[in-house]
Amino acid sequence: MALFLTLTGAMLPQGPLTSGPQQPRPSSAAPPGTIRVEASLVLIPVHVATPGGASVTDLAKESFRLFDDDSEQNISYFAQEDAPVSIGVLLDTSASMQHKMRRSSDAAASVLHSANPADEFFLVEFNERAKLTVPFTTDADQLYRRFMHAGPFGRTSLLDAIHLASVQMKNAHNARKALLIVSDGGDNHSRLSRSQVRSEVLESDLQMYAIGIFDGYARKRSPEEANGPGLLEELAGQTGGKHYRVDNLDELASVARHISIDMRNQYLLGFTPAGAQNDGKYHRVKVTVNPTSGTKLNVFSRRGYYAPAQ
């Protein structure tokens, strides 16, 4: 699966933009994506949670430290906002999901129920092949109705589904973009390789949230379930999203609520890289938060960005 739902780092130019989202303002949607443009401002979406998983929403700019390739940067832009999101749902309909299909669909529907009026959605189903079954729409009911007709069949083309969703997301109207993957995580039938999709994800402006469903009705888990957690963990982590492992189907409703909250509680940090050069290279970013009341907080953010090339 992937629903990967989330925000990513963005490179923005100084001065007005002639295309794409407008420059960031704390009261409007800023473009959290890895966008290759002539730019100096890098935007990194960040989610902060307690060890128990509760979102932390009362932090000030001074609580954060940000590092670009191990060099600490001055945070020149700071905002916390709930802007519209373009959400792609990736639903695993392969045979390995046979006993999980209905409750998995219910979990995906639960995430969409928390949507804002300006949110938009599309649905990619994947088994033997990945297919776009509901194009972009603001009517979440279209996805609900499709969920009811989904049936398990064949092998799993998860990587192809992520690629298809990334292509579809280029038609998004909102600056914030997220993928939600619902799957047991394995892949045994994609044409694209793991390294190809990994590179595509690194250059994308997507956050990915994954519900990895590994509840087993059989005594022995399938190869998809055995290999799934590592794949979902890697891809979600690269984008600043999160992989939620589900070993009991009764946990699905709670996980769906957590994802809805995570998507809506984001900080946006902006910085101008010191001595930045238009080298076209990938730069690693790390964000840390000063503990509050002695409690260590968990930070989820995109791991890097591509600088513009000359």
Q: What is the CATH number of the domain that holds 290?
A: 3.40.50.410
25 inside domain: no
Its domain, for residue 193, covers 1-18+31-310
Residue 294 lies in a domain: yes
- Do the Cβ atoms of 158 and 2 come closer than 8 Å? yes
Is residue 249 within 8 Å of residue 100, measured between CB atoms? yes
Residue 229, in any domain of the structure: yes
Q: What is the pLDDT along the chain (310 residues), one digit of tens a residue?
A: 333 333 333 443 333 322 233 334 443 333 333 333 334 788 888 889 888 888 898 999 999 999 999 999 999 999 886 778 899 999 999 998 888 888 889 889 988 888 888 899 999 999 999 999 999 999 999 998 999 888 899 999 999 999 999 999 989 998 778 999 999 877 888 999 988 888 787 777 788 999 988 755 444 666 655 666 788 888 888 888 889 888 888 888 888 888 888 887 888 899 998 766 678 788 899 999 987 667 889 999 888 887 777 6
Is 23 part of any domain?
Answer: no
**SS3 assignment, position 186:** coil
Q: What does pTM read for this prediction? A: 0.76
**Between the CA of residue 9 and those of 22, 177, 213, 269, 273, what are the distances in Å?**
15, 11, 28, 9, 13
Q: Is 93 inside any structural domain?
A: yes
Whether 157 is covered by a domain: the verdict is: yes
Q: What is the total count of domains within the chain?
A: 1
Residue 116 falls inside a structural domain: yes
The residues, any chain, with a CB within 8 Å of residue 70's CB and separated by 6 or more, are 284, 286
Confirm whether 216 is domain-assigned. yes
